[in-house]
Amino acid sequence: MRSRRPLLAALTTAALAAGALAGFAGLGTAAGPADDLTTAAASTGGVKIAYYDQWSVYGNAFYPKHLDTRGIAGKVDVINYSFGNIHPTDLTCFEANKAAGDDANPNAGDGAGDSYADYQKSFVAADSVDGVADTWNQPIVGVFNQFKELKAKYPQLKINISLGGWTYSKFFHDAAKTDASRKKLVASCVKQYIQGDLPVEGGYGGAGAAAGIFDGIDIDWEYPGSANGHLGNHYGPEDKANFTLLLAEFRKQLDEYGTAHGGKKYLLTAALPAGQDKIKYIETDKIGAYLDYANIMTYDMHGAWDADGPTYHQSPLYSPASDPTDPIAPGTQKYSIDNAIDAWLDGNAAYGIAGGFPANKLTLGYEFYYRGWKGVPAGARNGLAQSATGASAARPVSQQAGIAHYKELGGIVDNAATTFWDDEAKAAYFYKDGEFFTGLDKRAIQARADYAHNRGLAGAMMYSLLGLDANATLFNDIVTAVGSSPNPDPTPTPTPSPSNPTPSPSPSNPTPSPSDPPSGCSAAAWSSTAVYTGGGLVSHKGHTWKAQWWTQGEEPGTTGEWGVWLDQGAC
């Protein structure tokens, strides 16, 4: 079988100086029967998560302000800011102003980072969210300060720091190896991003300088246990268990910090692979206990790294009999979104995948870029499943052969004469003058959203906002297709202790029996020592409260808007 290692996101020269590259190397998995999308129930699937890249502020001049002026900030639930890095020797979260190397360099991300973009780049009034120019005596400037201004305008918006990505995943393996190293990494990330203690650089930073900006942490380890990440990545078989333990430690420390600081609920999410060759190294039946959302990278299944083809969809919803590509070894299945979700939810014995991940915490990835080939004959299907002579020509913004942003292909993607539909794979493709591109249009977006509704999934993850045009066309199509956002907290499975990832009942600490409720309330009174599970009702201070997940000792009314307890109203 030919190698299918996805290419990197293309950056401008200035962006390369900024550091980490994108995390979109999620390969799909095996085939299965098509679901009846016409019967999709639109009661699920409304959460919207999108990535904003660190390097957006350079040559592309795509500032946080544009998240406001283009109508994005009011429609998205969570923004993941990509990416933070792990220090190669300290194995901690850190800040640096050092460019990453090129993809052929096994040490490309070692010690790299962009503290300048993060909190040292000043914004003039015209480029600032609040229309006021930064001044020299602010604690911080940069993207972090712009996010602070954005959140003041959109208080419902949550922002996560995303750690890792394609270039910065090298040292996850080392940091996750022992209980001590896990605790050290997590504590450093909470201190730097959640507590906001930034190192003083360029006259900015200091203790608490970034406090209140980030609402959680996104883990983008590409990939635990797999040799198919960036050249030079560290990995090993122990990653499978250690990834679970690392997530458990993040969940534990985020919860502890939130409890100690006003009862705030901090998010923990992860970008996760869609290929069975990578999913098999993850404990799919355990990690859902710790994550609020798992964002499956359902794109980059095919691309011009196979320079001579065959051309095929980068994100097919299904893999029909006409799929000309090779199966995933050692099985017989091919890459598709449907097969990826089957693996996460239901498992796949042929690849050693347990399944068991909660559907209502899982989002599908939507890509804002296109994969392309050149020298493609039209053939019987307008370039689909044909040979090629290489990657499509580099475009001015993406600056990399084989990839183009939506805003660079408007004349092809928005032209009915060059847009085609594969009704078997439920995927769009585009062909003109020997160039073949694969990616999203409105019909493909709707099919993917209908599929998510049909399977009871959480919603959409979008990579990345940098690829949008000025009208945010694809973003708005996704917002319309997935529907209104639900309460942003799914109903998690009980959170086990980090030393016992698989939860089990505790007969010595049972669910509380009814007690005398407050006057006028029918539910039992809340008890600080009782254990409650998702859906449990209690009475407290004249109100009825509903638990969204396992909890003990968290007083209703004190856990914040994303907390465990939902107010059901006065008794």
* DSSP alpha helix (H) spans, 424-507: 442-454, 473-482
Compare 451 and 487 and report the one with higher pLDDT.
451
Count how many Cα atoms sit within 13 Å of the Cα of residue 106 in the half-sphere of its side chain. Answer: 6
Residue in this structure with the two tokens 């994005």, named with its chain if needed: 72
User: What is the C-alpha separation between 5 and 434, in angstroms, rounded?
Assistant: 24
Amino acid 532: pLDDT? 67
In contact, 125 and 44? CB cutoff 8 Å: no
**13-27, 156-170, 229-243, 335-349, range with the lowest pLDDT:** 13-27
pLDDT digits (tens, 9 = 90+) for 283-302: 999 999 999 999 999 999 99
Compare 443 and 24 and report the one with higher pLDDT.
443
User: What is the C-alpha separation between 441 and 409, in angstroms, rounded?
Assistant: 11
What are the start and end residues of each CATH 2.10.10.20 domain in the chain?
A: 531-570
Work out the pLDDT band at 503, boundaries 50, 70, 90. very low
Amino acid 42: pLDDT? 31
For residue 543, what are the β-bridge partners? 540, 570
User: What is the C-alpha separation between 513 and 532, in angstroms, rounded?
Assistant: 11
Amino acid 428: pLDDT? 98
What are the start and end residues of each CATH 3.20.20.80 domain in the chain?
A: 47-483
Amino acid 489: pLDDT? 43
**20-29, 97-106, 554-563, range with the lowest pLDDT:** 20-29
13 pLDDT exceeds 70?
A: no
Q: Secondary structure of 142-169 in the HEC alphabet?
A: HHHHHHHHHHHHCCCCEEEEEEECCCCC
Please tell me whether residue 48 adopts helix, strand or coil conformation: strand
**305-309, 390-394, 438-442, 563-567, range with the lowest pLDDT:** 563-567
| Residue 359, both tokens | 């559907």
Measured CA to CA in angstroms, residue 494 lies from 288, 347, 527, 552 at distances of 9, 21, 18, 11
pLDDT > 70: percent of the chain: 83
User: What is the C-alpha separation between 336 and 424, in angstroms, rounded?
Assistant: 12
Q: Residues 95, 149, 201, 222: which is the catalytic one?
A: 222
User: What is the C-alpha separation between 233 and 248, in angstroms, rounded?
Assistant: 23
Q: What is the DSSP string of 65-133?
A: HHHHHTT-TTT-SEEEEEEE-B-TTT-SB---EE----TT-TTTTTT-EEHHHHHT----GGGSTTS--
In contact, 203 and 140? CB cutoff 8 Å: no
Amino acid 485: pLDDT? 75
pLDDT digits (tens, 9 = 90+) for 338-396: 999 999 999 999 999 999 999 999 999 999 999 999 999 999 999 999 999 999 999 98
**CATH number given to 531-570:** 2.10.10.20
**Neighbour-count burial of 537, counting CB atoms closer than 10 A to its CB (0-12 exposed, 13-18 middle, 19+ buried):** middle
CATH topology of domain 47-483: TIM Barrel (3.20.20)
Work out the pLDDT band at 549, boundaries 50, 70, 90. low
Compute the average pLDDT of residues 103-113.
Answer: 97
Work out the pLDDT band at 43, boundaries 50, 70, 90. very low
Amino acid 545: pLDDT? 78
CA 538 to chain centre: 34
551 pLDDT exceeds 80?
A: no
Amino acid 509: pLDDT? 33
When the pLDDT of each residue in the chain is averaged and rounded to a whole number, the result is: 86
Compare 501 and 364 and report the one with higher pLDDT.
364
| Residue 40, both tokens | 């999709």
In contact, 372 and 392? CB cutoff 8 Å: yes
Q: What is the DSSP string of 458-479?
A: -EEEEE-GGG--TT-HHHHHHH
Amino acid 3: pLDDT? 26
Compare 506 and 485 and report the one with higher pLDDT.
485
Question: Crossing angle of helices 442-454/337-346, nearest 10°?
Answer: 20
CA 376 to chain centre: 33
Work out the pLDDT band at 189, boundaries 50, 70, 90. very high
Sign of the torsion formed by the C-alpha atoms of 150, 153, 159 and 165: negative
Q: Is 554 a catalytic residue?
A: no
If you count them, how many residues does the chain have? 571
Work out the pLDDT band at 498, boundaries 50, 70, 90. very low
In contact, 298 and 28? CB cutoff 8 Å: yes
| Residue 300, both tokens | 């980059």
* Residue of 237, 243, 236 lying closest to 185 (CA atoms): 243
* Residue of 399, 464, 404 lying closest to 436 (CA atoms): 404
**Neighbour-count burial of 526, counting CB atoms closer than 10 A to its CB (0-12 exposed, 13-18 middle, 19+ buried):** buried
Please tell me whether residue 431 adopts helix, strand or coil conformation: strand
- Could you list the beta-strand ranges (E) of 165-244: 198-201, 204-206, 216-220
Residue in this structure with the two tokens 């949550």, named with its chain if needed: 158
| Residue 23, both tokens | 């995390």
